[in-house]
């Protein structure tokens, strides 16, 4: 199934778990780890999980997730992708710490952060599977 940016915005606005905000020059929808900003001339999807203090616009690969799967599954896939990215960073830090300072407190902190991320990853995968099972036979709103 193929979606366009208008379909994704409609799905995000219809989603109960999003926050809608009317801006002077457009509107935004925040939820599920993503933000959609819609202005007169441009609509963009921002990834809230990357970029630190500033939100980064989704990569072409992340946009493809939305265009192929729609808002609900696409945003869940972006959350899973962000969690895997953070897990890789933590794994690299653990390896570096084990090969350099060997500070036990720091290693334990990294391991607990890794465990928290693994729990998040598991929850996101379960939510994704339940969404997919609920959507079998149902179609999401599409613009005409």
pLDDT digits (tens, 9 = 90+) for 94-114: 999 999 988 899 999 999 999
Report the pLDDT averaged over residues 31-37. Answer: 93
pLDDT, residue 46, reads 94
- Tokens matching residue 114: 């890794």
Binning pLDDT at 50, 70 and 90, where does residue 142 land? low
State yes or no: pLDDT of 62 exceeds 60: yes
Q: Which residues pair with 56 in a beta bridge?
A: 47
pLDDT, residue 90, reads 96
pLDDT, residue 1, reads 59
Q: In what order do the strands lie in the sheet with 19-23?
A: 19-23, 26-31, 34-39, 43-47, 56-57
Of all residues in the chain, what percent carry a pLDDT higher than 70? Answer: 94
State yes or no: pLDDT of 140 exceeds 60: no
Place of tokens 């990834």: 47
The Cα–Cα gap between 51 and 4 comes to 25
Return the H-helix or E-strand segment holding 45: strand 43-47
Report the pLDDT averaged over residues 59-69. Answer: 94
State yes or no: pLDDT of 52 exceeds 80: no
Binning pLDDT at 50, 70 and 90, where does residue 144 land? very low
Taking only the tens place, the pLDDT of each residue in 117-131 is: 999 999 999 999 998
**Nearest Cα to Cα of residue 50 among 91, 83, 17, 88:** 83
65, 45 contact by CB (below 8 A): no
């Amino acid at each position: 199934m193929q979606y366009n940016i208008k379909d994704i915005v409609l799905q995000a606005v219809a989603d109960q778990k999003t926050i809608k905000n009317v801006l002077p020059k457009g509107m935004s929808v925040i939820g599920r780890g993503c933000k959609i900003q819609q202005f007169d001339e441009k609509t963009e999807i921002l990834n809230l999980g990357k970029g630190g203090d500033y939100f980064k616009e989704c990569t072409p690969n992340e946009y493809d997730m939305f265009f192929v799967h729609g808002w609900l599954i696409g945003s869940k896939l972006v959350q899973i992708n962000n969690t895997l990215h953070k897990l890789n960073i933590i794994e690299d830090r653990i390896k570096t710490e084990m090969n350099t300072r060997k500070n036990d407190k720091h290693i334990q902190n990294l391991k607990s952060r890794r465990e928290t991320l693994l729990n998040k990853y598991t929850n996101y995968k379960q939510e994704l599977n339940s969404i997919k099972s609920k959507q079998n036979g149902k179609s999401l709103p599409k613009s005409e």
